[in-house]
Amino acid sequence: MANALSCGPAFILLLFVSDLVSGLIHYSIPEELEQGAFVGNIVRDLGLNVEKLLVRKFRLVSDDSRQYLKVNFENGILFMNERIDREELCGQSPTCSLSFEAAVDNPLEMHSIEVEVLDINDNSPRFPTDTFPLQIFESIALGGSFPLESAHDSDVGVNTISTYQISSNDYFGLNVQTRSDGSKIVELLLEKALDRELESAFQLTLTAIDGGNPQRSGTAEISITVLDTNDNVPVFDHDIYRINIPENTLKGTSVTQISAVDLDAGTNAEVKYSFSRHSSERGRELFKLESETGKIKVYGVLDYEESIVYDLYVQATDNGSPPMVGHAKVVVKVTDVNDNTPEIKLSSISRVVPENAAPGTVVALISVSDRDSNENGQVHCTVPMNIPFRLQNSPNNQYKLLVGETLDREKESTYNISILAWDGGTPPLSANRTMLVSVSDVNDNAPEFTQSSYNVYLMENNTPGASIFAVTALDPDVGQNGDISYFVVENQIQDVSTTAYISVSSKSGNIYALRSFDYEQLKHFQIKVQAQDGGFPPLSSVVLVNVIILDQNDNAPFIVSPVTWNNSTAVEIPLRATYPGYLVTKVLGTDADSGQNARLSYQLMDATDPSLFSVGLLTGEIRTLRRLLEEDATTQSLVILVKDNGQPSLSSTATLLFSLLSNVTDIVPEPSDRSNNLEYFSKLNLYAVVGLGSTSLIFLVTIILLVAIKCKQDRNITEGYSSTVCCCLVQGYSNDNFNRRPAPHQAVNYSGVGAEPYHYSISLSPESSKSEFLYLKPYTATLPYSDVSVNNTTVRHEFKQ
């Protein structure tokens, strides 16, 4: 490594690191170091851990487009990436350095680094031309001087020109002078009188030597011709002219006027002015020297930021033969004007910020600069107040753009942050740069259903697998966080899992019925649907869906009384007991449907003699239209149609066979005396009552025993249902009994549709003078399912006298 740092045997790399009060890390290196040469252990000097350079995103931030230096991430060494030519980088500026920032993240740190480039003696002095022709009159007195063109050395300091030498001769010597600005001027001195007739020409060698180690030199040939006459050189009134002009000086403005005097007379004293070859090409482009007047005018556009000082070398040439030339220097200093707007540079930009980023999170590093100087170059920076971002000032015009407050992507997903920078000039100049920052989504919103609950009305006997409803949830998050899936929350319906009844499409939210529902078994139920997003962790919400089963007219009426066999029954009627309006019997039907579907009407569909009987449309009572006569047929057949009010209507029929008894001798009182003769019965009716009463008593005892057993099993049934059979029967009903059907053997089928359990009462009616049976007085229009037990049919009987 030592060999890599050497630059010739006489140069030793002076390498040192110093911490300034401001935190600046300073290195010094000679120019022209080879690529890969060691500069410094920057990681150690910054107090960083070399193993965490990549993790913390260590980087060098510089305004220079060329990358002269790099860092080895394995050992933290700062090394040369390419050669540096100090003269190319800084010209002849007394100081030359590279300034950049070293930045690391987690946490964000900025360190200012300055690498001073030291000059080495790598340039030899050079003259403007290889040969200087010089004409000298022989009349020149001893000690006469002749200004010579100075050599130029691109190096600075001790490495620049230190002295001049001339080749050995008997007539001429050198006079080397140092000007106030440190530059050297050389004059040729006449030390012995010339005699053109003895020697008319001289060839001398002028050598310029610098002060480096080892020394470098440059030479030029001086070709001297000895002439007669013009023996005075024009002399300027100042050796150096110093002027200050602002950088916005307009083209054509005269900035100064130079003047030289020639002591000769006539044409030998006529002087013309021009720039010498020592003046830079850029200086000759920006300024124009009028040869006759000596006025120097601005000829181009000045820029303080390009160059602060221009050295113009001028000469005055007389009109003698040979001409005599005098030299002077014009130093033009350009003063700063606030003509540069601030520059804004962004680095380490996080263009996407998560919405849960904590206040203080660094979004970008902002560097502002102004090429102007003093107050004109002092820059201030700000961002708008109405955004959730703020600036934090750092040294050296560095700013951090930070998250200022809590972000919410659902309210604002992108921000066009306008960064404004202005300088301290009068008037101030400003610059604006816009930076787009997107707020990325975080799963911070749970799905929300469009309603707090849903009611679904479903007609029974639906098609299994068909969609019955759809729920919709919205999630303001985006992407995977906003992808919603729907699920049925596990629950029980009639001791069966909800998923056996209902399914939900996970993507669309469509609800499907997995089975056909029967209103008579299940009138309503509730399910819970969960909406869950795809975030991590996922968020969810639950909504209640009430499913109400609507009744469909799918049950035909069931004829409860009179009890029929093969849809027919026989009834005996004593002729003498009849009168117009006599109640023969009563047809009672029930319907497992509800509402209009269970509203029944009765019609006489067919009869042996339609003039004998009528049927109550709503009551089902069969009455005589006239007194029965012996001439009437002894057997009368009536077909009774019982139909509901559904759409379409369903119906059942029952055939009643009436036998007219003419030999029964029971006395039947007239209608006006019925209330006083209730005790009289015909023998036939008495037999029927006794038989039916015995059967009913046995059936009633059986039912009481079954109900008593059921009352013991079901301890949750509440009291309060009035009954002559069992005090355990209740008016309310539990959910367990709500949807249960009877066993198949407990239903009677008339029209191909299974009938529901029915509820009827048997009464002895005092309405007839003949004390006939009133068959099947209905208890309710629609039978409550609470009167039907789970495993046994509960039948209620009421006996009224």
* Cα 423 to Cα 444: distance, rounded to the nearest angstrom: 43
- State how far the Cα of 385 lies from the Cα of 391, in Å rounded to an integer: 10
Classify domain 131-227 at the CATH topology level. Answer: Immunoglobulin-like (2.60.40)
How crowded is residue 81: how many other Cβ atoms within 10 Å of its Cβ?
16
Residue 447: is the preceding peptide bond cis (ω within 30°)?
no
DSSP run (H or E) holding 573: strand 568-574
CA 565 to chain centre: 78
> What is the C-alpha separation between 98 and 102, in angstroms, rounded?
13
pLDDT of 17 reads 36
Q: What is the DSSP string of 50-114?
A: GGGTTTTT-EEE-S-SS--EEEETTTTEEEESS---HHHHHTT-S--EEEEEEEETTTTEEEEEE
pLDDT at 177: 86
- Divide the 801 residues of the chain into consecutive groups of 10 and give the mean pLDDT of each group: 34 35 76 91 90 88 83 91 86 83 87 89 87 86 87 83 90 87 84 85 92 89 83 89 93 94 85 90 93 95 88 92 90 90 87 91 91 87 93 87 91 92 91 92 92 94 92 93 93 89 93 92 93 93 95 89 76 80 91 89 91 91 89 88 92 89 53 40 55 79 82 48 36 37 34 35 35 36 34 31 26
**DSSP classification of residue 7:** -
pTM comes to 0.47
Match 């700013």 to its residue by tokens: 399
CATH label, 343-431, candidates 2.60.40.60, 3.30.450.20, 3.10.20.30, 1.20.1050.10 = 2.60.40.60
> What dotted CATH number matches 2-118?
2.60.40.60
Fold type of domain 448-550:
Immunoglobulin-like (2.60.40)
Domain positions in the chain: 2-118, 131-227, 235-335, 343-431, 448-550, 558-787
CATH code matching the domain that covers 558-787, chosen among 2.60.40.60, 3.50.50.60, 3.40.50.720, 1.10.3660.10 = 2.60.40.60
Instruction: Say how far apart CA 392 and CA 383 lie, in whole Å.
Output: 11
- Return the DSSP state at 597: G
What is 161-202 written as a DSSP string? EEEEEE---SSEEEEEEE-TTS-EEEEEEE-S---TTT--EE
Nearest to 190 by CA among 215, 218, 221, 166: 166
Q: Are strands 414-423 and 161-166 parallel, antiparallel or unpaired?
A: unpaired
CA distance 342 to 359: 28
In whole angstroms, give the CA distance from residue 53 to residue 714. Answer: 78
d(CA 287, CA 284): 5
What is the rounded distance in angstroms from the CA atom of residue 578 to the CA atom of residue 59? Answer: 120
CA torsion 301→306→309→311, rounded to 10°? -70
Instruction: Decide if 33 contacts 7 (C-beta within 8 A).
Output: yes
The CATH architecture assigned to 235-335 reads Sandwich (2.60)
Q: What whole-number distance in Å separates Cα of residue 501 and Cα of residue 504?
A: 11
Phi/psi at 278 (5° precision):
-70, -20
Partners of 353 in the β-ladder: 439
- Unique residue bearing structure tokens 């600005």: 181
pLDDT at 658: 86
What is the reported pLDDT for 7?
Answer: 35
**394 burial via Cβ count (<10 Å: 0-12, 13-18, 19+):** middle
Please give the Cα distance from 174 to 191 (Å, whole number).
Answer: 10
Rounded Cα gap, residues 633 and 271, in angstroms:
169
Can 131-227 and 343-431 be said to share one CATH topology? yes
